Amino acid sequence: MDLGIRGRRALVCASSKGLGRGVAEALAEAGVDLVLNARGVEALEATAAGIRDRYQVSVVTVAADITSEAGRAAVLAEGPFDILVTNAGGPPPGLWSDWTREDFLRAIDANMLTPIALMQAVLPGMIAKGWGRVVNITSVSVKAPIAALGLSNTARAGLTGFVAGTARQVAGRGVAINNLLPGIHATDRAIALDGAVVKARGISMAAAIAERSATIPAGRYGTAAEFGAACAFLCSEHAGFIIGQNILLDGGATNATL
């Protein structure tokens, strides 16, 4: 399927690895020019070079912390953008009783206020053009709380509320905003979480992965390529009637009828 977005320009945040990289690859395959971002320069440049080689699209890199005001300003200076994909590292695990006000503020800043600030910055340009797509990478924790990830449950729920209202205010101007909710995907983050289980329980990595895979009806982790393809569709010409949705990509792991 031709996604109808060849020549569009996208900002993909936190995209040198993992899900963000999967999105960048899928958009590049559809002919979209990219601004990529991550904190570490080396992986960012390697990812950008690979994408330029494979897809012959323009790729600008901005090495910056997207959760900082200065980082966001550096990235936004590369605008305007037709497509915005927000993403950042997830908050650390822990116990509900341990987190301080500062822990909550950090998580809310990174996983709620950062994507909101990015949307506030790019939406006026999209509205003026009469076309725009925004996808926020959130988490399955928005629909089904993950006990150890209370900071994520909390901050991402706030973002979800903002999107629910805002998406409906800009839809009439040709701008579609949606959230993609990843379940377990085979990225560095998933491997780090498995590594913690290996350490804590003294089991092998293969056993830790098999145990988590058994909780997913699809029987395996998702891939960054699958995630990227779904996101690229939401950024496509064809997705203009999908507004304010929270779409689970979890292999069926969330046991719910709706």
- Is 121 a binder of ligand NAP (CB under 6 A)? no
Is the separation of the CB atoms in 221 and 51 below 8 Å?
no
Q: What is the DSSP letter of 222?
A: B
- CB nearer to ligand NAP: give 63 or 239: 63
Question: Using CB under 6 A, which of the segments 53-61, 100-108, 132-140, 200-208 binds ligand NAP?
Answer: 132-140
Q: Is residue 118 a contact point for ligand NAP (CB under 6 A)?
A: no
Residues 155-194 touching ligand NAP, rule: CB under 6 A, are 182, 184-185, 187-190
User: Which of residues 65, 85, 163, 194 is near ligand NAP by CB under 6 A?
Assistant: 65
Q: Where are the alpha helices (DSSP H) in 172-254?
A: 188-201, 205-213, 224-234
Six-digit token string for 167:
């998406």
**248 in contact with ligand NAP (CB under 6 A):** no
How far apart CA 54 and CA 37 sit, in angstroms, is: 19
3 state SS of 213: helix
Q: Compute CA distances 111 → 53, 108, 114, 153, whole Å.
A: 32, 5, 6, 10
* Nearer to ligand NAP among residue 128 and residue 147 (C-beta): 147
Q: Is 252 in the site for ligand NAP (CB under 6 A)?
A: no
Alpha-carbon separation of residue 245 from 37, 106, 127, 140, 161 (angstroms): 25, 26, 19, 13, 11
Report the residue number, 128 or 146, with the smaller CB distance to ligand NAP: 146
Task: Examine residue 62 and tell whether it contacts ligand NAP (CB under 6 A).
Answer: no
The answer to whether residue 16 forms part of the interface with ligand NAP (CB under 6 A) is yes
Nearest to 115 by CA among 188, 21, 11: 11
Q: Which of residues 23-42 bind ligand NAP (CB under 6 A)?
A: 37-40
Which burial class, exposed, middle or buried, applies to 69 when counting CB atoms under 10 A from its CB (0-12, 13-18, 19+)?
exposed
Interaction with ligand NAP in 40-59: which residues (CB under 6 A)? 40, 43
Applying CB under 6 A, does 112 fall inside the site for ligand NAP?
no
Q: In angstroms, give the least distance from the CB of 130 to ligand NAP.
A: 30
Closest distance of CB 113 from ligand NAP, Å? 13
Nearer to ligand NAP, 19 or 170 (CB): 19
Residue 181 tokens, joined:
């909710």
Tokens linked to 158: 């706030």
- Is 94 one of the binding residues for ligand NAP (CB under 6 A)? no
Give the footprint of ligand NAP on this chain (CB under 6 A): 14-20, 37-40, 43, 65-67, 87-90, 137, 139-140, 182, 184-185, 187-190
